[in-house]
A and B are shown apart, each in its own frame.
Chain A
Amino acid sequence: MAKRIDVSDLNVYYGDFKAVEDVTMTVEPRSVTAFIGSSGCGKSTFLRTLNRMHEVTPGARVQGKVMLDNLDVYDHSVDPVSVRREIGMVFQRANPFPTMSIYDNVIAGAKLNNQRMSKSRSDEIVERSLRDANLWEEVKDRLNKPGAGLSGGQQQRLCIARATAVEPAVLLMDEPCSALDPISTLAIEDLIAKLKENYTIVIVTHNMQQAARVSDRTAFFNLAGTGQPGRLIEMGDTNKIFTKPDKKETENYITGRFG
């Protein structure tokens, strides 16, 4: 079920402002791809274009092509809602639905879409997703308590469980660990390593050690200058990017000479 993403010549705009310029890349299935780069260089914006979340922002638009296997995500006849069912997303800040219990949060994807399913089927999905998210043992006795009562790290894992419960082909993660402590971060990194067996994972991170630890391939984004759009500078195997990158800019960033 994991799918490949092919992006070609993608330009992303907020109104008249060009935020990201000319990105062409391939995201391999069943692997983890990390986006690194300094703040404001457009990696999160680019990530959000992959499942058409970008256009939720008023005035935002996109030029270029995003292919999910053989499907053109930005084709006129494609419904953004169904794209998002295929490409799930985990956000920087954990955002469980405050009105729902832990159980309902996990099956929110089905519940909010008014899908009918048997109790045993939904029990099964909840347990599987929570086990996948390494959260089952911690919450199995309080599934009916509100999701907002969990700790920050648990909430983030709950959000990951919620995203995987709808069985998407691709999972996008926008700095999923930036608000978490090292222990919770470790739990989520373990989880990413486990999830990549079944999903295509794209993760945006500010933490270069994290990119080095979890990802198979790394893409480095940077700004051409202040007020200029962000660009994809270099993309390749994580090992190569972190040991002998082709571009000087990448090397400067990796070695901490700026950014």
Chain B
Amino acid sequence: MTTATQPTATGSSGEGPDIQSSGLYSRQLPTYFPAALLVVCAAVASGAFFLLGAFHPVPVAAVTAIGYLVAVTTSSAVVENNRRAKDRLVTGVVYCCFAIAVVPLISLLSTVVVFGIERFDLYFLSVSMNGVIPSMDAGGVYHAIVGTLVITGLATVISVPIGLMTAVYVVEYGRGRLKQAITFFVDVMTGIPSIVAGLFVVALWIMVFGPGQTNGLAGAIALSVLMIPVVVRSSEEMLRLVPNELREAAYALGVPKWLTIVKVVLPTAVAGLTTGIILALARVIGETAPLILTAGMASTRINANPVEGDMMSLPVYIYKAVRDMGLSGEAGVYAEERAWAAALTLILVVMLLFLTARLVSRFLSPGKG
């Protein structure tokens, strides 16, 4: 046992002990092997389908993926060892799942961009549909952008104070039954279907103003019913992330609890809070059903007054345009183009919001010097 496993002497050449005989050695596939194998599989699969005269990207991708998984596992099992073979198989499966998850997203974005760009220009963004009859090659989305900004802006103004204060209560003050009840009802609220939120406001409006009243404020209230629970949940998480030590540090300096919350807890969490609020906003900006019920869908003119008559918004605009696609002749074509262009506008608005969220969280998060 003492001498049998000694490596063969290579000390004279100065290369140290021989790795091959040390028992730690195993053969490895070169690092470029998976990429090269994937290229080969793709080439073989597409060539085969091409020869059969039935080339289509989806079956080619499927055959490539399966072929790659089989080939990489077997070659790894032969050249390397079982553990590495399993590792390579699972790695491959994970990449496949990722690709499957991303494909619809990319497909959706590219479709919207390709179809939307037809009509997406400064004219489309800067005019309303006032006086545009279906067969006219005119009209735009400006009134819907204004409506969306007014309605979601109002919804934010309503939801953020309520949501944030609820979260502060739950995290900092709440105890026992009341806290549990609030958490429970916030969870229930998260699950409210958006159309029900719309109906709730319709009922409220009938009670207050009489039947048939639709306006932007009603839409904003319907959206804030949907937005408040999201703001509460995300703010709660963010406030919980603030270390207790910071609160105690403030208390130990003789700072009252409310000042500690206002000046230590909220500023420390501000980046996360802002991100959460913007994500909640992005969640409700695409709501259609409650807005059709509450803000109406008859508006074609620019209306920035939330208490005066119908107010158009981007999702409702899209819905309306899609309904008009059934019109015969030019009218249907124009309606379809408007629907895609408005969809592109909405996606851009949401992307802008997400970008803002990322920038805000970067600039507001406490620095490290």
Contact = CB atoms under 8 A, between A and B. Distances in A.
Nearest to A59: B175
B249 A97 contact: yes
Contact of A53 (B252, B263, B267, B270): B252
30 contacts: A51-B252, A56-B247, A56-B251, A81-B255, A81-B256, A83-B254, A84-B253, A86-B254, A91-B249, A91-B252, A93-B245, A95-B243, A95-B245, A95-B246, A97-B246, A97-B250, A98-B246, A99-B268, A99-B270, A112-B253, A112-B259, A112-B263, A113-B254, A113-B256, A113-B259, A148-B369, A149-B368, A149-B369, A163-B252, A166-B254
Contacts of B326: none
Contacts of B366: 98-99, 146, 148
Given A109-B255, A159-B249, A163-B252, 20 more contacts: A51-B252, A53-B252, A56-B247, A58-B175, A82-B254, A83-B254, A85-B254, A86-B254, A88-B252, A88-B253, A95-B243, A95-B245, A97-B250, A99-B268, A113-B253, A113-B259, A145-B369, A146-B367, A149-B368, A166-B254
Contacts, number: 89
Contacts of A30: none
Interface of B: prevailing SS? helix
Contacts of B251: 53, 56, 81, 84
Interface string A96-122: 111100000000110111100000000
Interface of B: 175, 243, 245-256, 259-260, 263-264, 267-268, 270, 366-369
Contacts of B367: 146, 148-149
A89 interface: yes
A77 to B, nearest CB: 17
A162 interface: yes
Contacts of A108: 250, 253
The 10 closest A-B pairs by CB, nearest first: A149-B369, A85-B254, A98-B366, A89-B252, A109-B253, A95-B245, A84-B254, A112-B255, A145-B369, A99-B267
A89 B267 CA distance: 22
Contacts of B268: 97-99
Nearest to A166: B253
Nearest to A93: B245
Contacts of A96: 249
B248 to A, nearest CB: 7
B253 A53 contact: no
B175 to A, nearest CB: 7
A95 B249 contact: yes
Given A146-B367, A146-B368, A56 B175 contact: no
Contact of A162 (B243, B247, B253, B259): B253
B369 A109 contact: no
A112 B246 contact: no
Interface in A58-86: 58, 81-86
